[in-house]
Amino acid sequence: MRVVLRSEVAGLGRPGDVKDVADGYAQNYLVRKGLAVEATAGELKRLAQQATSERAKKDRAHADAAALAERLDATTLAFTLKAGKDGKTFGSVTTKDIAEALKRVAKIEIERTKIHLDEPLRTLGVHRVEVRLLADVRAKVTVAIEPER
């Protein structure tokens, strides 16, 4: 019997997969527990429509992320920190500071977990900080750290 999986079944597949299984396994286990439905023409058509809408949704999200990446690439954030004579600061700029500055200055809300810093910025100068919007969409924000007068 052909079934369309509604949820993940170990050793069989993921939601949306169409599988051929034994009639007894399908009727007595998969369908009864709501893990799958019989693969009728209507169900296959619904599955195709769902896949099309999900693909369109992903494309829109990717386009939105690409547009946001362009805005972020053009953004420069300025921070002033107390600094010593050698250019070392007495504080640091963290991902939280960058996220708050983006929200305040550029009106862009980015989760701080998407901002990638190996360690907080502790030196004066201009730094390029990577923002990972999606797996394949990344942007670089310019962060300028100036000494406090």
* Inter-CA distances, 81 with 93, 94, 140, 142, 148, Å: 9, 12, 22, 16, 5
| CATH architecture for the domain at 2-62 | 3-Layer(aba) Sandwich (3.40)
pLDDT reported for residue 97: 95
pLDDT reported for residue 145: 93
Residue range(s) in the chain whose domain bears CATH number 3.10.430.100: 66-147
pLDDT reported for residue 43: 92
Q: Is the pLDDT of residue 76 over 90?
A: yes
Q: What is the mean pLDDT of residues 1-15?
A: 93
Q: What is the mean pLDDT of residues 29-33?
A: 94
pLDDT reported for residue 148: 86
pLDDT reported for residue 101: 94
